[in-house]
Every structure is written in C-alpha cells, then in structure tokens.
Amino acid sequence: MVDLKGQYNGIKETVNTSIQEVLDNTAYINGPQVHEFQKELETYLNIKHVIPCANGTDALQIAMMGLGLQPGDEVITADFTFAATVEVIALLQLTPVLVDVEPDTFNIDPKAIEKAITAKTKAIVPVHLFGQAANMEAILDIAKKHNLFVIEDNAQGIGATYTFKDGTKKKTGNLGDVASTSFFPSKNLGCYGDGGAIFTNNDDLAHTIRGIVNHGMYKRYHHDVVGVNSRLDSIQAAVLRAKLPKLDVYNTARRASARKYNAAFKNIPQIEIPITHTKCEGVCDTCDCHVFHQYTLKIKNIDRDALVAHLNENNIPCGVYYPIPLHAQKAYSNSRYNEADFPVTNQLVKEVISLPMHTELDDEQIKFISQTIIDFITQ
Ligand SMILES: *Cc1c(COP(=O)(O)O)cnc(C)c1O
C-alpha cells in the first residue's frame, strides 16, 4: 500500500545527516530537533502552537484533556473512522456519540451532528478522512450555535487545504479549537517510528497541553494537573525535519496518482471514484483540497470481497478502510444507537476498497492495478 523504502531512497542523504546530528549530540529526548521541527510545522500550518507528542492517539486524548472535558460529557464523532478517535473518548470516560457520514466524501455529516446534540454535548471531533477536510464551515457554525469545542482529527489530512464559501483558505488542523495529527510511518507526513502532535491557536490551551504531555508539570517536580508521558523523540523529529519540506511535493504526487486512477475508472459503471467538494475533483495541480491519504473507491453491484481476493491473488495490495462501523464494534456498542441512524456507514463498509497510494507510484503500476480491477469487474 505504501513504498517507504522507495521514498527513503530519494531523501537518504538528508535523513541520514539529520539522524546523525542526533546521534552526535545524544539529546535523544527533547533535543534541539524537536524544537526546530515544532517551529517549522507551526510556520507550515500558519498556526501559533504545535505541541509534539508520542503518537496520534495520544494527541487526541491530550487535546480532550486540555479542553477539560469531564466524565459524562458527550463527544460527537464519525461512525466511519479508525477506532483511535472513539477509543480515547471512551478512555477518558466521556460518552462517545457516533453519527453517520456523507455518502460522497465519507466525512461526518453535519445534519447528523445536529440531530445528536443534547444538553450534555461538549465537543465535536470531525476526522478529515482519507485526506479530505470534513464540511468544516457547517460544523463550525453548529459548534458556535451550541457552544461546542471542535477537535479536528487531522491524522489523515496533513497538508490539505479547506476553502470557505467566501474564498478564505486554511490548512486542516487550523480550523477548530484544537487538532491532532499522527506521524505514523504510512501517514502523509510519516516518521520512522511513532509520533504525533497537537495544534492550536489558543495560548492558554497550548500552555495547559504542554504541561499535560509532561506529567502535568509546569515547573520541575510540581505536578499541577494529572498528566501523561507523551513525547516525540529527537530521532523522529530529525526524520520529520528532513521530510516536512517535501510534504507538498509528496501530496502533489499523490494527487497525480489519484488523477490517473480516476481516468482509468471513469467509464466503469460499477466503480465510483472519490468525490470532493470542489469541482476540480481535488486532483488538479494547483488545488490541495484532497491529499489522498487513501485512494478509496466505492464498488457497486459487484462482490467487493471477491475483488479483494482477486487483487491479493495478483499480488496487488489493497485495504478495506473500514470493514465494520464503530457503532457495531463490541467495545463501542450502545443501546442509544439505532441501525436506521447509520444508513451510509452501513452501506460504505460493504462497498469501499482502498488502492495502493503513495509518493512512489509509477504509471506502469497504476495501469496494472487499474486494469486488473477493470478486467475482474467487466469479465
Ligand atoms: C492513524 C490515525 C490515528 C492514530 O494515530 P497513531 O499515531 O497511530 O496513534 C487517529 N485517527 C486517525 C483518523 C488515524 O488515521
């Protein structure tokens, strides 16, 4: 699904030099690279505060702790996402409230959010799924109206831009009260181990969060709040410093591959190509509304699982993200849910398939992958 080796070969010298610096100065934790990376990412996102941490799941949890959410508070998020999002809500003894998504973009449905709001609702967690921003303008309006926090899960969306109706553009992760991201190796900005970060423009919240990631310490050995130990190590920061300048180039390469897949599948009635909010389908050279963390098709009137098996037989990797709705997972089931509230997710889990998508895909690979799929479907 990804080609981390091919990508590394293209940046080997820079990465090696950057890692060697850490080895030479032995500041493995909180070394200068961590601080430098933080500053560079703040500039890239045009945001006031980036707080690095150990992974994207921690980032979400720490964001919620920083906002002071309390047991029993309800947090609304998407039914169709990776479990990390709902897991941390439950771990903090907040109440996850899962809602349905939009059929075209796979992102949380603002209408479903509004329906789920109660007197206990405190926050909304939109996930910018597969690399495309959720419908943030509508979500921010709802949050304002009901006085709710917006926590963006930007693990899959780093580098994407959201355009408001008035033409204002902002990077994802810079739209809500606070955001989280992951630097897991296969993410669009991945390190060579685990890593994550929290973003915010709020000075007080940033201060609170900087203490939480460090055992609740604001002054050495004074623990003012209950915190956690969540750090980005210096070697990972060194890798990220080498890769951040390439992020836009990498995302452009992903879009170019998406455009080629789209062209191959355009006239196949059983295949629905990814749809974006904007008219350009998110695949033009100049627009970065979609960064294609995943390239995900919807397969209609064909046995999706048989297609997966066929691709595996032909040594083509593929993934089903996600095969089970979160509301149907044992850990997150709740009698408040009604199957009729999740028509879109229940359908998507049967239809979606994600194809190899990375920075090193070449035309021949795309042709082989798409032709194998088309042959199976039209046989
Ligand atoms: C990857 C991911 C996470 C978790 O990130 P980790 O670094 O693996 O903890 C959270 N949310 C979403 C949507 C993700 O894709």
For the chain, what percent of residues have pLDDT higher than 70? 97
CA of 266 to the centre of ligand 1 (A): 31
The ligand 1 atom at the shortest distance from the C-alpha of residue 195 is: 7
| pLDDT value of position 165 | 87
Q: What is the average pLDDT across 346-371?
A: 97
Q: What is the average pLDDT across 130-153?
A: 97
Residue 167 pLDDT class (50, 70, 90 cuts): confident
How far is 139 from 111, CA to CA, in rounded Å?
9
> Which residues in the chain belong to E strands, given as ranges?
49-53, 74-78, 95-99, 121-125, 149-153, 161-163, 169-171, 178-182, 196-200, 217-219, 222-223, 271-272, 295-299, 352-355
Mean pLDDT, the chain, rounded, equals 95
User: Which residues on neighbouring strands pair with residue 204, listed in sequence order?
Assistant: none
| pLDDT value of position 103 | 93
Among 212, 176, 271, 238, smallest CA distance to 21 is for 238
Q: What is the average pLDDT across 306-334?
A: 96
Q: What is the average pLDDT across 180-196?
A: 98
CA of 57 to the centre of ligand 1 (A): 6
How far is 11 from 192, CA to CA, in rounded Å?
13
**Residue 281 in this model has a pLDDT that exceeds 60:** no
| pLDDT value of position 379 | 83
Residue 148 pLDDT class (50, 70, 90 cuts): very high
How far is 107 from 127, CA to CA, in rounded Å?
7
How far is 262 from 283, CA to CA, in rounded Å?
9
How far is 67 from 71, CA to CA, in rounded Å?
13
pLDDT tens column, 200-231:
999 999 999 999 999 999 999 999 999 999 99
C-beta separation of 85 from 59 below 8 A? no
Q: Which of 130, 182, 186, 194 most suits a substitution to test ligand 1, by most atoms within 8 Å of the C-beta? A: 182
What residues contact residue 43 under an 8 Å CB cut-off, 6+ apart?
none
The ligand 1 atom at the shortest distance from the C-alpha of residue 182 is: 7
| pLDDT value of position 283 | 61
Residue 285 pLDDT class (50, 70, 90 cuts): low
Q: What is the average pLDDT across 102-122?
A: 97
Residue 353 pLDDT class (50, 70, 90 cuts): very high
Q: Whose CA is nearest to atom 2 of ligand 1?
A: 155
**Residue 58 in this model has a pLDDT that exceeds 80:** yes
The SS3 of residue 93 is coil
Ligand 1 pocket by C-beta < 6 Å: which residues? 55-57, 81-82, 84-85, 127, 153, 155-156, 182, 184, 194, 196
CA of 376 to the centre of ligand 1 (A): 32
Could you write out the DSSP letters of every residue in 130-199? GGB---HHHHHHHHHHHT-EEEEE-TTTTT-EEE-TTS-EEETTSSSSEEEEE--TTSSS--SS--EEEE
Residue 282 pLDDT class (50, 70, 90 cuts): low
Q: Whose CA is nearest to atom 14 of ligand 1?
A: 155
Q: What is the average pLDDT across 163-168?
A: 88
For the chain, what percent of residues have pLDDT higher than 90? 93
Residue 288 pLDDT class (50, 70, 90 cuts): confident
